[in-house]
């Protein structure tokens, strides 16, 4: 565990990469307070192996903790979002070669789970731009985003039953509910974009697959200009009240409303803007 932690600490201490594709297949760009993090391994259907999973976790963690980043876009390049684990890495694993599966070599935690945790807790909005297929761990990554944008060619589902595995029941179920999630798992089918929009798995559907990243980025830029500190508090509240009895959830909600007054500078600006009949000038603080 010490060796892997040292590697991760070293990555976090290094200067943040804000443009280009890393050797581990992650492309990172920044614009107008938005950090775009994209899987760029199209020959592997953007499937995760050890290096790419590790690098994705590193970049998402950086973006989540960087105060200059006010929104995150998660995407995949080459016409696919993420088809799950890299099949070549799984083949090597089955052959008994040195493990290249996308999981911590110390704890066994799959990297995609840790990435999902970072996205859910990031104190800023996260938008998923979903081109092509999102399945297995890929659909859980998409469901960890606050908003999801797709196009006509977007397909989303599980697929694990065809490999004799279970999973993809945590975040997908939060979005679709137990019944639809069970049906997707048992059948192994991929949900088409129109159905995904209808049931809430997608929030926006573009007219062209080529427009997905552009529309997702425009959405993220508009969110980044908003009261992102308040958005962060909302996300924290959302996670804490999940599964709570209504009475407990309402009490927590009251506490977080008070925290908005106490901790969010934009809360005062927002009220003043309403009273003065003008647009707010939010700073994200």
Give the pLDDT band of residue 106 (cuts 50, 70, 90). confident
For residues 25 and 54, the answer to whether their CB atoms sit within 8 Å is no
More confident residue, 227 or 94: 227
For residues 79 and 210, the answer to whether their CB atoms sit within 8 Å is no
More confident residue, 237 or 108: 237
Give the pLDDT band of residue 95 (cuts 50, 70, 90). confident
What's the pLDDT score for residue 105? Answer: 85
Q: Is the pLDDT of residue 79 over 60?
A: yes
- Helix 50-65 with 2-13: angle, nearest 10 deg: 50
Give the pLDDT band of residue 4 (cuts 50, 70, 90). very low
More confident residue, 17 or 110: 110
What's the pLDDT score for residue 258? Answer: 96
Mean pLDDT of the region 113-137: 98
Mean pLDDT of the region 80-86: 92
Cα–Cα distance between 58 and 160 in angstroms, integer?
26
Q: Is the pLDDT of residue 6 over 50?
A: no
What's the pLDDT score for residue 179? Answer: 97
Mean pLDDT of the region 26-37: 97
State the burial class of residue 275 (Cβ atoms within 10 Å of its Cβ: 0-12, 13-18, 19+).
Answer: exposed
């Amino acid at each position: 565990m010490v060796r892997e932690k040292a590697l991760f600490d070293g990555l976090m201490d290094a200067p943040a990469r804000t443009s280009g594709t890393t050797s581990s297949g992650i492309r990172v760009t920044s614009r107008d307070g938005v950090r775009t993090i994209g899987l760029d391994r199209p020959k592997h259907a953007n499937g995760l192996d050890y290096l790419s999973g590790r690098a994705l976790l590193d970049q998402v963690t950086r973006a989540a903790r960087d105060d200059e980043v006010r929104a995150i876009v998660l995407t995949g390049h080459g016409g696919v979002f993420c088809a799950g684990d890299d099949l070549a890495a799984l083949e090597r694993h089955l052959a008994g070669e040195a493990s290249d599966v996308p999981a911590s070599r110390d704890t066994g935690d799959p990297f995609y789970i840790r990435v999902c945790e970072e996205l859910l807790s990031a104190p800023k909005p996260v938008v998923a731009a979903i081109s092509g297929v999102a399945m297995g761990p890929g659909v859980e990554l998409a469901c960890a985003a606050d908003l999801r944008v797709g196009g006509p060619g977007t397909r989303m589902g599980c697929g694990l039953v065809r490999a004799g595995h279970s999973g993809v029941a945590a975040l997908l179920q939060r979005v679709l509910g137990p019944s639809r999630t069970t049906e997707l798992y048992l059948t192994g089918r991929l949900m088409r974009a129109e159905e995904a929009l209808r049931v809430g798995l997608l929030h926006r559907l573009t007219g062209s697959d080529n427009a997905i990243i552009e529309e997702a980025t425009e959405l993220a830029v508009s969110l980044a200009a908003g009261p992102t500190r308040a958005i962060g508090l909302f996300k924290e509240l959302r996670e804490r009240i999940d599964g709570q009895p209504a009475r407990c959830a309402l009490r927590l909600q009251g506490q977080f409303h008070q925290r908005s007054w106490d901790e969010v500078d934009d809360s005062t600006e927002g009220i003043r803007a309403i009273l003065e009949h003008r647009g707010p000038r939010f700073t994200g603080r």
